[in-house]
Amino acid sequence: MSTLIQGGTVVPGTGDTVIANGVVVLRHGRVADVLTRWDPVQEFAGETIDAAGCVVMPGLINCHAHGVSPGPLFPSAAARLAEQAWMGNLDRHLLAGTTTVLNLCGFAGMDEVREADRRHAVHVRGATSHLPAALQAAQFADGRGLTARTRALTVERMIDDGAVAIGELGGGQTLGGGGQDLVYIPAAIEKLTGVRVEIGQARRLKEAVLGRFIDASAFDAEALDTAAYEAGLSGRLTMDELRTVIEDSVLPSFVPAITGIREGVLAASRLGVPAIVHSASATARILRDLMAETRGNGVQVIAAHVNHPSHSPAEALELAVLGRGNGWPAEASVFDLLHRRHTVTTRDHWDLLLGEPGLVSVLATDYGRDGEHDELIAAVQDVAAQGHRPLAGAVAMATSAVADLIPGIAPQSGRLQAGRAADVVVAGAEDFRDVRYVFVDGICVVREGKLTAEAHR
C-alpha cells in the first residue's frame, strides 16, 4: 500500500527543518521518501492526499498518558476503567494525532498493555511501578484495581517483559495532590456528612490542615474554619473531626509514596532504564535529595509535569532548573490549561518554564478529568505560536525528542525519514486540533477527521 501526501508544510520532527509545500511518500508501512517537490507529470501508483493548508508531521509520542489500558488506573492503582473508557481514551489520542502513548499507570501488567496495543491502532507502551513502597502507597490511597497477579509483579520482571520505563513514581492521588482534591477527600467528607465538596474547596481544606507541602505541623485552625464555612460544612462536624478525616485521607499513602520514588530511582540506576517521577510541590524535597544522591551515577530521571500548579511558578522554575543542572530532563504536561480549563486555569507555569531556553525537553498531556485533557497537538501548536520554540522545535518536543529520551518507546518512529515507520499526521495549519488524516505503519486510521475501521482491531 502506497500513499503520497503532498502540498502541505512538512515538519519532519528532526527539530531543525520545515519544508513548505513538501511531499511525503509512504510505502509498505514505512516512510519511503521526504521530498521538496513532486513532479506533476510523474505517475503515482497509490492514494494521493492533498495536504494544502495543512501541516504534515510524525505521529506524536505522548510519554505521560493514563487510562489507556485495562490495568489498574494511576499510581494509586484505582479501579480499572471499563473497556469503552480506555478504548475511548485511545480514540481521543489518535483523533488528535498521537500514535504512541506510554501508559504511566505503572501497576498495569504487560499483558494488559499488550492487549491495548493489539486492540487499538495507537502503539501502547508500558511502564512499571511495581515496587514495595509504591504498592503500599497505592493500597493506602486506593488499590481497588489490584489483583493478586499485579501485586506479585516486580520492576525486573516487567522490564524483562518489555516495559520501557519505571514510573509514574508518585502521583497526586498518593501524594496529597490533585487526585486527593478531586476524588478521595470529597468522597471521605461525603461519607461522613452527606455533603459533596468541590475540588477547590477540598484543596483549601487540605491546605488548611497540611499546608502546600503536606506537613502536619502546617495546621492552620483559622484557615480550616474559613474553608469549612465556604464548603458548607460548618456545624456538620467538629473541626477536629474534619482535620482527622483529611489527615486520614492524605497521610497514610504519603510516606510510602515518597519511599517508592526513591525505590524507583534506585531501580532505574540498577536496571539502566529511565525513571519518570511526578514533579510537584509534594515531591520537591525528595527530588532534590535524589538529585544530590544520584549525581554522576548515570541514572536517567525524567521530571514529569514540571509545570505542576501545586508549585508557585517561581518554585516550578527553580526545581526544573536544578534538575537540568543535575541532568534530569523535564517534561511539561499540558493537562487542560489551554482550552478546556476545567482543572488548571492558569498558564503561568507553562509559559514561564517553556520560555526558558532549553529547559523543557518534551511535551505530554497527563490525564485531565475523565481523560478530557487538552490535545498534545494543541500543546505543540501553542509552544510554536507563543514563540517558545520555532515550529520545527515544537514538533520535535512531541516526536523525536521523546523517542530519543526513552529509547524503547518508539525506536522506529518520531521522524519523517526514509526507512522509519510511517506514523504520520496531517492537520489543519490554522488549528492543529483539526486533524484530517493519521497513518499508523502506513495504514490510514483517521480519514477526514474520523476513525477508520482499521483504528480498532
Q: Which is nearer to Zn ion, 6 or 100 (CB)?
A: 100
Q: Which is nearer to Zn ion, 115 or 168 (CB)?
A: 168
| Least spacing, CB of residue 104 vs Zn ion, in Å | 5
| Least spacing, CB of residue 304 vs Zn ion, in Å | 6
Q: Which is nearer to Zn ion, 112 or 423 (CB)?
A: 112
Q: Which is nearer to Zn ion, 35 or 133 (CB)?
A: 133
Contact 333, 64 (CB under 8 A): yes
Contact 359, 353 (CB under 8 A): yes
- Which string of DSSP letters, residue by residue, matches 126-177? EEE---HHHHHHHHHH--TT--HHHHH--HHHHHHTT--EEEEES-TTTTTS
| Least spacing, CB of residue 276 vs Zn ion, in Å | 9
Q: How far is it, in rounded angstroms, from Cα 182 to Cα 161?
A: 34
Q: Which is nearer to Zn ion, 243 or 305 (CB)?
A: 305
Q: Which is nearer to Zn ion, 79 or 443 (CB)?
A: 79
| Least spacing, CB of residue 66 vs Zn ion, in Å | 6
Question: Largest Cα–Cα distance of the chain, in whole Å?
Answer: 82
Residue ranges in contact with Zn ion by CB under 5 A: 168, 366
| Least spacing, CB of residue 169 vs Zn ion, in Å | 10
The β-bridge relationship of strands 19-27 and 30-35 is: antiparallel
Q: How far is it, in rounded angstroms, from Cα 121 to Cα 44?
A: 26
Element (H, E) at 191: helix 185-193
Q: Which is nearer to Zn ion, 168 or 375 (CB)?
A: 168
Q: Which is nearer to Zn ion, 366 or 375 (CB)?
A: 366
| Least spacing, CB of residue 2 vs Zn ion, in Å | 39
| Least spacing, CB of residue 171 vs Zn ion, in Å | 6
Please state the φ and ψ torsions of residue 112, each to the nearest 5 degrees: -70, -40
Element (H, E) at 338: none
Q: Which is nearer to Zn ion, 24 or 277 (CB)?
A: 277
CA distances from 75 to 11, 25, 175, 328 (A): 35, 41, 10, 21
Grid cell digits, residue 273: 532504564
- Which string of DSSP letters, residue by residue, matches 60-91? EEEEEE-S-SSS-BTTTTBPPPPHHHHHHHHH
Q: Which is nearer to Zn ion, 350 or 439 (CB)?
A: 350
| Least spacing, CB of residue 91 vs Zn ion, in Å | 20
| Least spacing, CB of residue 343 vs Zn ion, in Å | 13
| Least spacing, CB of residue 103 vs Zn ion, in Å | 10
Buried b / exposed e over 30-65, threshold 16 CB at 10 Å, is: bbbebeeebeeeeeeeeeebebeebbbbbbbbbbbb
Contact 239, 228 (CB under 8 A): yes
Please state the φ and ψ torsions of residue 40, each to the nearest 5 degrees: -60, -20
Q: Tell me whether the omega of the peptide bond preceding residue 168 falls within 30 degrees of 0, making it cis.
A: yes
Q: Which is nearer to Zn ion, 347 or 373 (CB)?
A: 373
Distance of CA 402 to the CA centre of its chain: 12
| Least spacing, CB of residue 74 vs Zn ion, in Å | 7
